Chain A
Amino acid sequence: MSSKIKFVYNNNIIELENIDPNETLLNFIRNNLKKTGTKEGCAEGGCGACTVVLGTLKNNKILYQVVNSCIIFVPMIHGKQLIIVEDLESKKDLHPVQKAMIKHNGSQCGFCTPGFVMSLFSMYKNNNNYTEKIIKDSISGNLCRCTGYKPIINAGKELNNYFKPDKFEINKKIDIELIKKIQNEKKPIKINYNNKLYFSPLSIKELLLIIKNNPNAKLINGGTDLALTVTKSRKDLNSLIYLGNIKELNYIKENQNNIEIGSSTPLIEIEKFISKYYSDFSEILKRYGSYQIRNIATIGGNLGTASPIGDTLPILLSLNALIITQKNNISRKILIKDFFTGYRKTKLKKNEFIKAIIIPKNKSYIFRAYKISKRYDDDISSVCMGINLNLERNIIRNIIIAYGGMSEKPKRATNCEKYLNNKNFDKETIIKSQKELLKDFNPINDMRASSEYRKNIAKNLLLKFFFEIKKNKNIRIYD
């Protein structure tokens, strides 16, 4: 095992020996690299001021992915290329993205600007055509309190007028070689920094061994949930096992009946893949956090939090997914409806981990999902709903209705389902079934929504679903 973290920076490999595994990338950039262009606006992934780009090698190409440097720990960037705002300009010239921002008055106080520049840079590198929709989505994880976004959106459109090859295009070969050089070492990592441990195994086999020897270690995937323990609760994570480098956990495959997703697969990949089967699932994912979050947050992590407001969870419930877990050499299959046992509690035993999720294809079913939140972009749901219906000649043969935000855990509306099954799919039935929901749920009041509102939404979404299916078109205000 190696105690060195290596990453590519400015066409060089940087090596760090036994670095503090709780050190955020943001603090590292500001305090160690002594570059202050990357800003701290919140230290919890919610503002984008700290956005940097990580170059990730995939199929011999570099993907330029934005992340929030404030909630990613330095060792997690092992084997990647780090790009920060100071790196964009070349000796002679600003980067096209920077020029476009100036031309369109994209900055006022300027504090958010480096983050926007990095998000636009990532968009610029990963797309060929910059529509208003692509631009808005690309910057939806960056907050600006001054401009109202319009000049920044205009800067994005301006990029359609620039010719491509930038500095990174020119240096791409070198960077790819350097990344490969690090990856080819194929060494798992173990860091010991003043007894703070960090492991990054490369295979399930190594993982099992590490777990065995460190039974109290915490598993970390994207860290978008866990890192806040350090940055907000100000607690140390003394022993971490990073799953992001285990190839056996990062995949999507399918057969005739099922889709199987490795637990360390980032949500961004699922968002792209799943749209052809469950387009609403993909739509929900598009509004899940931001690119910065979805690029690293994983499905395993979302399941691992078992949060009552985890957005994929009601969806997976409604799709009747199957969770595959492992402990030592024993693998289990748990039906998702049995998986959540209480507030942030699951059936997982100590040292058992989630390996994969199997989602049935069920083409004959009608599936819809809805996310209600105060803000469209990057907001936590007040209520999130997945619904999956098997209709035979207008008789409800089987319906699964699952909600997030309605209970202490993601949960199915079993009474409501029972009421609806084998009844006619008509408005009267749906309205009657709404009452059953009140048997299923008694949601809480909190800063996001009142109990009353949650109940109303839950009921109305059922009705909305009915109208959408009957009218055979989505009735939504967002396009």
Chain B
Amino acid sequence: MIKNNIESLFTENLPHDSAQKHVNGKARYTDDILEPNNIFYAAIGWSKKSNAIIDKINLDDVIKSEGVIDIVTYKDIPGRNDVGPVFDGDPIFPKNKVEYFGQPIFAVLATTNELARKAVLKAKISYIEKKPIITIQEAHKIKSYIFKPKQIHRGSPNIALRDAKNYLRGNFSTGSQEHFYLEGQICMTIPQEDNDLIVYSSTQHPSETQQIISKMLKIKNSSIAVKVRRIGGGFGGKETQSFIFAAICTLLANKTKLPVKLKIDRDDDIIITGKRHDFFSEYEVGFNNNGQIKGLKINLYSRCGISADLSAAINDRALFHIDNAYYIPNILVNNYYCKTNTASNTAFRGFGGPQGMMVIENIIDNIARYLKKDPTTIRKNNFYKKNTNNITHYNMKIEDNIINEIFEELITSSRYINRNKQIRDFNDKNNLIKKGIAITPVKFGISFTKNYLNQAGSLVHIYNDGSVYLNHGGIEMGQGTLTKIAQIASNELGISINKIKISETNTSKVPNTSASAASSTTDLNGAAVLNAIEKIKNNINHYVRSKYKISIDKVKYRNNKVIYRNKIFNFNDLIMESYLNRVSLSSTGFYKTPKINFDDKNFEGRPFYYFAYGAAVSEVIIDTLTGENKLTQVDILHDAGNPINENIEIGQIEGGFIQGMGWLTFEEVKWSEKGNILTHSPSTYKIPASNDTPTKFNVKLFKGNNIEKVINRSKTTGEPPLMLSMSVFFAIKDAIASVGDYKIIPKINAPATPEEILSSINIIKKNL
């Protein structure tokens, strides 16, 4: 058992630092920053074909269009014409071939936003079309891959499959997902003296924005300052997908030496940017009569779109989570990175993890239905254990396993067994309306799987009036990182949060930051802030010791006092005194995650600092005539370690859950055969709305500490809760199974739209 011996450092559950500004409209997003008087507006002209050579391009009418003052194409790019974060492959403007419907080709600058957007429609472009590759199947058939397929492997899956008592095979797919951050992509660039640039971008990754612009313009990183106060949602969609807009906006600003704003229309945003990778898998599984998996072979295909972007790391994370919380002694996975003529798929909350987990959850569910047992039992039978069966397929020993405890507690608190019985009774009596229930676990690894990204910097000043300026590399995108880190600083200095100035993220203040991603923002940046504060405290201690000749161990900063063993200072007085005695009250801080190391080549080691756990029970009701469905109750028990701010964590859990539910139920991205994305507006792409939130929605935090030394022994809640929503999908599957009296395994893929549900029901009815 993990000892619960650390009391929380944080007693106050403060609201979000900007809560008041959110509700009265004073919080400024990029579009709200006061514009310079002479600002101009840009718009992008994009490809109407998904695979073609540009035969002729005539922009005369664009240039002549009302209000237009300039135009840029690939010819105007002095340096690197690519925004690919790791690998090349994402041209800003292609030279002569377009590779997806929506790919930017040129941009204009005009006196108003509306005139710019009107102008781009006047381009005359003729294409020589080639047959596009759109689906995973089409790509795999002709081996159109971004990277060579990858194989991971442990034990002897072939032998295990052969020897196992039972055997199943099948295939499964999960859909793509549009981020639908409420604030669309946007950038404003303001040229400065010396050809320097200030770039306001709605991005999760200011440092890389800076680097990409620097390479594009062949100027130094130090000439570019990227600033972000807050973004209106990111979810991974602004980790790399914001780069092209910042690049184009800045290209125009640099060319014309004018301030430029590029605000992307919602439809264009959905058309141009990448989304969650959809996955397809084929599996063979061998298991004993208890449903324990003995051997597993999987072919795992993902739709990467046209370029690498982050697809390598995303597929890796799918591989890391293909076990979810289950011990799989013998496993082999072939991973295929399908290259298609669609926008390059990218990070989305969970980053491949959810897609990997869905594969195994579906297999477990099918095993249970095959054995005619409650899936909950089969899940438990396969869980990792504490002292045995605790090594993952990538050879990491799991030291913090609490999934068994979480599961048991939730089964009891949600009255799962009882409700399951009632549901079966209900289904016996009702023909047209059916109910279903499922409980699913989550085990999610925390850290960037690219080791070098697990670092962070900070900058802390204490002014001589005792007020504190706080800066670090974390981006505020709703997850409350600025609030939590300010709480950390306030707690560490023993002063009220009102004395802490939360400031915009700015590449001139803290350099070389990692993206705010991988759920790690607060863990990393919070620790870097602690480090800076520690250094300042050391400076002060040094002074106090030499001046007052007192001991400096066990110094406490509490309630605006600094308490030495035999002397107490007022915080403000001590700060002023330090200043007058020439003590440095400003410091940078740095942090790198300990313990992690991973051998990419052999796919083994410790990629994660720790795991976050959770489980959810969902209950649904479906209409077997129409496929309509409704989530009626959710009970969640989630592990946030010893949380810094309970309210913020609960907000992340609820929001992540609903977002995942959308992904697995009715959010459906569709392309035409030619690769035109068809669902590019809120009228065709539906994210969850208020009535999709269940009336009974119980969220509890599991009581326990992080065994690793994360601040306050907390655990992040950024991504993990999204995967709690898997329970919704399997509850729907359970309801469908009732149509065949639980004798036939339903065939259903995600998203479980009403159409998918009805078609699954109809297959069962045909086989009855």
Chain A positions within 8 Å of B, measured between CB atoms, are 27, 30, 35-44, 46-47, 49, 84-86, 88-89, 94, 97-98, 101-103, 105-114, 117, 132, 135-137, 139-140, 142-153, 232, 234, 370, 372, 374-380, 382, 446-450, 452-453, 456-457, 460-461, 463-464, 467, 475-478
Contact = CB atoms under 8 A, between A and B. Distances in A.
A447 B678 contact: yes
A107 B23 contact: yes
A102 B678 contact: no
Interface in B663-688: 666, 668, 670, 678-679, 681-684, 686-688
**Chain B interface category by residue count:** 35 or more
B182 A109 contact: yes
B695 interface: yes
11 contacts: A36-B32, A41-B266, A102-B23, A105-B648, A110-B16, A111-B181, A111-B183, A147-B654, A446-B678, A447-B678, A457-B758
Contacts of A117: 23
A144 B689 CA distance: 7
Given A109-B233, A477-B629, A380 B666 contact: no
A109 B183 contact: yes
B91 interface: no
Contacts, number: 249
B558 to A, nearest CB: 27
Given A107-B16, A111-B233, A476-B623, A234 B121 contact: yes
B433 A477 contact: yes
Interface stretch (B273-281, B379-387, B475-483): B475-483
A54 B585 CA distance: 52
A89 B654 contact: no
A464 B626 CA distance: 9
Contacts of A149: 658, 688-690, 692-693
Nearest to A70: B266
A150 B265 contact: no
Contacts of B629: 477
Contacts of A370: 626
A118 to B, nearest CB: 10
Contact of A37 (B24, B670, B686, B688): B24
State the majority secondary structure of interface residues on B: loop
Interface of B: 15-16, 18-29, 31-32, 114, 117-118, 121, 179-184, 230-233, 235, 263, 265-267, 432-433, 477-480, 621-623, 625-630, 647-648, 650-651, 654-659, 666, 668, 670, 678-679, 681-684, 686-693, 695, 697, 753-755, 758-759, 762
A362 B692 CA distance: 36
A359 to B, nearest CB: 26
B26 A37 contact: yes
A374 B626 CA distance: 11
B50 to A, nearest CB: 16
State the majority secondary structure of interface residues on A: loop
A232 to B, nearest CB: 7
B685 to A, nearest CB: 8
B18 A110 contact: yes
A36 B31 contact: yes
A39 B690 CA distance: 19
A102 B27 contact: no
Contact of B654 (A30, A136, A148): A148
A105 B19 contact: yes
Given A374-B668, A447-B684, A476-B623, A146 B755 contact: no
Nearest to A148: B658
A461 B626 contact: yes
Given A86-B25, A477-B629, A108 B668 contact: no
A105 B480 CA distance: 11
Contacts of A40: 31, 184, 263
A405 to B, nearest CB: 13
A44 B682 contact: yes
Contacts of B233: 109, 111, 145-146
Contacts of B31: 30, 36, 39-40
A311 B681 CA distance: 19
Contacts of B21: 110
A110 B140 CA distance: 42
A112 B182 contact: yes
Nearest to B625: A460
Nearest to B269: A42
Given A42-B681, A109-B230, A114 B655 contact: no
A151 B182 contact: no
Contacts of A475: 432-433, 623
Contact of A150 (B263, B627, B693): B693
Contact of A94 (B23, B477, B679): B23
B25 A36 contact: yes
Contacts of B23: 85, 94, 97-98, 101-102, 106-107, 113-114, 117
Nearest to A22: B114
A453 B761 CA distance: 12
Q: Report, nearest first, the 10 A-B pairs whose CB atoms are least far apart.
A: A37-B25, A46-B682, A111-B232, A109-B478, A148-B658, A110-B22, A108-B478, A36-B32, A107-B22, A85-B25
Contacts of B693: 136, 148-150, 153
Given A47-B682, A136-B690, A447-B670, A39 B16 contact: no
A143 B182 contact: yes
A105 B626 contact: no
Contacts of A477: 433, 621-623, 628-630
A217 to B, nearest CB: 22
B197 to A, nearest CB: 23
A307 B667 CA distance: 24
B625 A464 contact: yes
A146 B753 contact: no
A139 B689 CA distance: 8
A312 to B, nearest CB: 17
A110 B478 contact: yes
Contact of A140 (B22, B625, B690, B758): B690
A140 B621 contact: no
Given A47-B682, A478-B630, A136 B759 contact: no
A374 B751 CA distance: 11
A277 to B, nearest CB: 25
Given A108-B480, A234-B121, A447 B679 contact: yes
Nearest to A374: B666
Given A36-B31, A151-B651, A456-B758, A145 B180 contact: yes
Contact of B691 (A94, A105, A376): A376
A222 to B, nearest CB: 16
Nearest to B671: A447
Contact of B182 (A44, A47, A102): A47
Contacts of B688: 148-149, 375
B509 to A, nearest CB: 22
A102 B20 contact: yes
Given A108-B651, A113-B22, A150-B697, A372 B690 contact: no
A388 to B, nearest CB: 20
Contacts of B647: 105
Contacts of B683: 44, 46, 380
Contact of B118 (A105, A234, A464): A234
Nearest to A372: B626
- Which of B478, B627, B679 counts the most chain A CB atoms within 10 A? B478
A106 B655 CA distance: 11
A37 B625 CA distance: 45
Contact of A449 (B26, B121, B755): B755
B690 A377 contact: yes
A378 B182 contact: no
A143 B477 CA distance: 16
B467 to A, nearest CB: 24
A400 to B, nearest CB: 21
A334 B479 CA distance: 57
- Which of B629, B659, B679, B681 counts the most chain A CB atoms within 10 A? B681
A49 B752 CA distance: 28
Contacts of B182: 39, 41, 47, 49, 109, 111-112, 143-146
